[in-house]
């Protein structure tokens, strides 16, 4: 299978500016809420995890870059794929990652009451609504980027194998 972009991000933004604006507005709404538990590091962590699950190289690279700028620890970046076993994530991060995985792997059965209750122990209804919006947003971007094969920006000093 080819990895060449079908449509790149810049072209998509020009072809579908209203879609780009709408998805960006969703992310902005979460950021602008100013809720302490939903800080930049946590939001980037969940976007990284959803992008890993979905296999979206473009979004993964993009959100890894943003996470580094937000000073998310390298240890957490290295271990987010195995967060359950890592022992480095706090209760809020664990709940957010569990919710992210549940929404990203959503099945016809929906989200279990057990998962919902565990997450509700860490987040208020408002926080949960915004957390859910953040997960929905990254999943939408992942599907667009995967379908159109957006390619990640690889730093010039990184050698391709």
| Residue 53 within a domain | yes
| Residue 158 within a domain | no
Radius of gyration, alpha carbons of the chain: 16
Say how far apart CA 123 and CA 133 lie, in whole Å.
14
Instruction: Grade residue 155 by pLDDT with cuts at 50, 70 and 90.
Output: low
| Residue 99 within a domain | yes
| Residue 61 within a domain | yes
pTM summary value: 0.92
Count of structural domains within the chain? 1
Say how far apart CA 46 and CA 33 lie, in whole Å.
17
| Residue 112 within a domain | yes
Of 157, 148, 154, nearest to 13 by C-alpha is 148
| Residue 156 within a domain | no
| Residue 153 within a domain | no
Which pair of tokens denotes residue 97? Answer: 């990652």
Mean pLDDT of 49-59: 97
| Residue 159 within a domain | no
Show the domain range for 116: 9-148
Given this model, what pLDDT does residue 36 score?
81
CATH number for the domain spanning 74: value is: 1.20.1290.10
Q: pLDDT, tens digit, for every residue of 105-130?
A: 999 999 999 999 999 999 999 999 99
Mean pLDDT of 81-99: 98
């Amino acid at each position: 299978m080819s990895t060449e972009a079908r449509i790149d991000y810049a072209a998509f933004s020009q072809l579908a500016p209203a879609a780009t604006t709408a998805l960006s507005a969703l992310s902005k709404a979460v950021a602008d809420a100013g809720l302490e538990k939903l800080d930049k590091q946590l939001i980037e962590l969940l976007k990284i995890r959803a992008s890993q699950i979905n296999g979206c190289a473009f979004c993964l690279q993009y959100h890894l870059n943003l996470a580094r700028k937000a000073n998310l620890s390298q240890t957490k970046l290295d271990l987010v794929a195995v967060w359950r076993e890592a022992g480095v994530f706090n209760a809020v991060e664990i709940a957010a990652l569990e919710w992210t995985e549940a929404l990203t792997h959503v099945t016809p059965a929906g989200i279990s009451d057990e998962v919902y209750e565990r997450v509700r122990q860490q987040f208020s209804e408002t926080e949960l609504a915004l957390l859910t919006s953040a997960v929905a947003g990254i999943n939408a971007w992942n599907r667009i980027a995967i379908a159109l094969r957006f390619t990640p920006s690889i730093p010039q000093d990184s050698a391709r194998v």
